[in-house]
Amino acid sequence: MSNKEMVDIYILGKKYTVPASLTIMDSMEYAGYQLKRGCGCRAGFCGACATIYRIKGEKELKVSLACQTKVEDGMYLTQIPFFPGDKKIYDINKLEANADTMAQLYPEIYSCIGCNSCTKGCPQDLNVMQYIAYAQRGELEKCAEESFNCVMCGICASRCPAGITHYQVGILARRLNGKYIAPPTEHLHKRVAEIQEGKHDASLKELMSKNTDELKELYNSRDIEK
């Protein structure tokens, strides 16, 4: 392997030379780290691998998900295994789907200064500042839709000067929307009842007996409901 295919990175201050084709997560394992936390799904869905990095010679701190982002030469890395955001405790059955609920639980959303740092930091390219604006106005259905692909990594909150925990606001909007605004999902209730009655036990047992390749083939050739 030529030098051009290798890059120098720094993990918690220590230098390692790794293949340029690797993601941040893969490069850490290549360097000998055994990842037990902060690795999650490894596919960009769980948000557990939030990472801060800086490129040597540049001043800007950058953020990303380690499983999605390829290494760069001169990259200094540190992971955020958990961002201690403000998580309110509530009973969804006792809430109303309106702006007053948001104001009561997450009043800091009204301190937003419009800097857009949350949106710039989002590894999912969500318009975070926009869904916070929807939450401010009580437009919870729009907030739920705009924040739908959030993976709760916490990067938005880590960059917010107003102390907003955007991802917690988004999930509250999605919960309120699902319970009080969106139309009932009758087919889902029917399927859950069928599962509880044991109607699908044999099919589930058969699925559990299949290997990964067989499961992939079943998934790729499945009937998709229109």
Q: What is the pLDDT of residues 52-69, one digit of tens each?
A: 898 988 888 888 889 989
Dist. CA 150–CA 51, nearest whole Å: 16
Digit-coded pLDDT (tens) for 158-168: 889 999 999 99
Last residue of a domain, one of 28, 46, 79: 79
Read off the pLDDT band of 17 (50, 70, 90).
very high
Mean pLDDT of 74-91: 81
Pair 74, 129 in one domain = no
**Do the domain assignments include residue 85?**
no
Domains contained in the chain, number: 3
Pair 98, 175 in one domain = yes
Q: What is the pLDDT of residue 47?
A: 81
Residue 79 pLDDT > 80? no
Q: What is the pLDDT of residue 82?
A: 61
**Do the domain assignments include residue 87?**
no
Domain that holds residue 47: 3-79
Query: Cα 85–90–91 angle (5° rounding)?
Result: 150
- Residue 167's φ and ψ, nearest 5 degrees, are -65, -30
Pair 161, 205 in one domain = no
Query: Among 10-14, 21-25, 93-97, which is the least confidently predicted range?
Result: 10-14
Highest mean predicted confidence (pLDDT) among 12-16, 21-25, 85-89: 21-25
Pair 71, 129 in one domain = no
- With a CB cutoff of 8 Å and minimum separation 6, the contacts of 43 are 67
**Do the domain assignments include residue 120?**
yes
**Do the domain assignments include residue 36?**
yes
**Do the domain assignments include residue 86?**
no
Residue 81 pLDDT > 70? no
Q: What would the two tokens of residue 142 be?
A: 């729009």
| Rounded percentage of the chain residues whose pLDDT exceeds 70 | 96
**Do the domain assignments include residue 7?**
yes
